[in-house]
């Protein structure tokens, strides 16, 4: 391993006859488990009063059900009471806003979370803006999103915080590292780019308008892909030794969940890579628990 400008680069086999060095897997399940242990200890410092996280869902979506179950398990492990409220599928935006306002006014509720996807006719931005920013544990209220431009906020968007945590877990020095974020959505791509910018990474954001994606991805010491297209990034688009964080969640042709990165070819080239499932997802849930404890007053 050599260092360049403070950034560790893993030396890859350059002789075509030498076998590729497989990437280290960034095991999100294990990293999330370690986080939950720390969070449980921090929760203990808040005393015996219950810490409540309320999740609101409209109708019942099978994809959301998996997330809710994972969130409930993580909450129980950390010592957070998670209440799941199901509004009927016919609920209107006004019904949802009324439920949020009621929870905003309840002091024992530390965090409020609205499950997606929302039915057509309900504007997610209006909904997110209605949550008290101090209870906005997903970190998506405009006040929390805006605060990201100044500094890392107390309640950052969970997926962005997870991507940053995974990049830091490699031990890489992010300062000066070439970081490429593919995807520029409000909830994922943009906040990831800004969080990594705060770490003095040199950040490029690619998106649907980017002309030659490969010209950018091949330069990346840290490559974060958050698009929602299976197989968008292949091994030949990755710089040898790079840290690859795959945020994408897609259903593969055989029904299995896959990321945006072709794992097999990428793992032969990258230095580190997150699997899907079992990478960014579990760490995102752990970040939701961290935000809930922070909303309850914990310093964690």
The dihedrals phi and psi of 299, each to the nearest 5 degrees, come to -100, 100
The DSSP output letter for 155 is: S
Among 188, 220, 243, 293, binds ligand NAD (CB under 6 A): 188
Q: Does 160 bind ligand NAD (CB under 6 A)?
A: no
Q: Does 208 bind ligand NAD (CB under 6 A)?
A: yes
Q: How many chain residues interact with ligand NAD (CB under 6 A)?
A: 24
Q: Which is nearer to ligand NAD, 284 or 291 (CB)?
A: 284
Q: Does 275 bind ligand NAD (CB under 6 A)?
A: no
Question: Cα 137 to chain center, whole Å?
Answer: 13
Q: Please choose, out of 70-78, 165-173, 208-216, 266-274, the segment that lies near ligand NAD by the rule CB under 6 A.
A: 208-216
Please, are residues 270 and 277 in contact by the beta-carbon 8 Å criterion?
Answer: no
Distance CA 122, CA 119 (A): 6
Among 79, 111, 156, 183, binds ligand NAD (CB under 6 A): 183
| Cβ burial, residue 93 (10 Å; 0-12/13-18/19+) | middle
Q: Which is nearer to ligand NAD, 70 or 104 (CB)?
A: 70
Q: Does 128 bind ligand NAD (CB under 6 A)?
A: no
Q: Does 210 bind ligand NAD (CB under 6 A)?
A: yes
* Residue 172 in tokens: 């890489």
Show the CA angle centred on residue 82, arms to residues 78 and 83, nearest 5°.
170
Question: Cα 241 to chain center, whole Å?
Answer: 22
Beta bridge partners of 57: 86
Among 176, 228, 231, 278, binds ligand NAD (CB under 6 A): 228
Q: Does 293 bind ligand NAD (CB under 6 A)?
A: no
Which spans of this chain sit near ligand NAD (rule: CB under 6 A)?
159, 182-185, 187-189, 206-208, 210, 213, 226-229, 247-250, 280-281, 284
């Amino acid at each position: 391993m050599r260092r360049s400008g403070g950034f560790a680069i893993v030396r890859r086999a350059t002789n075509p006859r030498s076998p590729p060095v497989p990437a280290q897997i960034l095991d999100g399940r294990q990293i999330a488990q370690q986080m939950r242990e720390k969070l449980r200890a921090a929760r203990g410092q808040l005393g015996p009063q219950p810490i409540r996280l309320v999740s609101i869902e409209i109708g019942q979506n099978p994809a959301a059900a998996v997330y809710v179950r994972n969130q409930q398990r993580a909450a129980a492990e950390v010592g957070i009471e998670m209440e799941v409220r199901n509004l009927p599928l016919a609920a209107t935006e006004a019904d949802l806003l009324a439920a949020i306002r009621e929870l905003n006014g309840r002091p024992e509720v530390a965090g409020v979370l609205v499950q997606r996807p929302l039915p057509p006719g309900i504007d997610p931005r209006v909904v997110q803006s209605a949550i008290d920013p101090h209870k906005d544990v997903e970190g998506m209220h405009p006040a929390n999103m805006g605060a990201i431009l100044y500094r890392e906020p107390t309640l950052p968007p969970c997926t962005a915080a997870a991507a940053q945590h995974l990049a830091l877990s490699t031990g890489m020095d992010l300062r000066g590292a070439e970081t490429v974020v593919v995807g520029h959505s409000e909830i994922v791509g943009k906040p990831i780019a800004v969080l990594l910018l705060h770490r003095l990474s040199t950040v490029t954001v690619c998106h649907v308008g980017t002309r030659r994606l490969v010209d950018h991805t091949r330069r990346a010491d840290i490559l974060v892909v958050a698009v929602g297209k299976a197989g968008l990034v292949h091994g030949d688009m990755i710089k040898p030794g790079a840290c690859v964080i795959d945020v994408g969640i897609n259903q593969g042709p055989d029904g299995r969940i896959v990321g945006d990165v072709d794992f097999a070819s990428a793992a032969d080239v990258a230095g580190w890579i997150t699997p899907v499932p079992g990478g960014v997802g579990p760490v995102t849930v752990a970040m939701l628990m961290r935000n809930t404890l922070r909303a309850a007053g914990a310093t964690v």
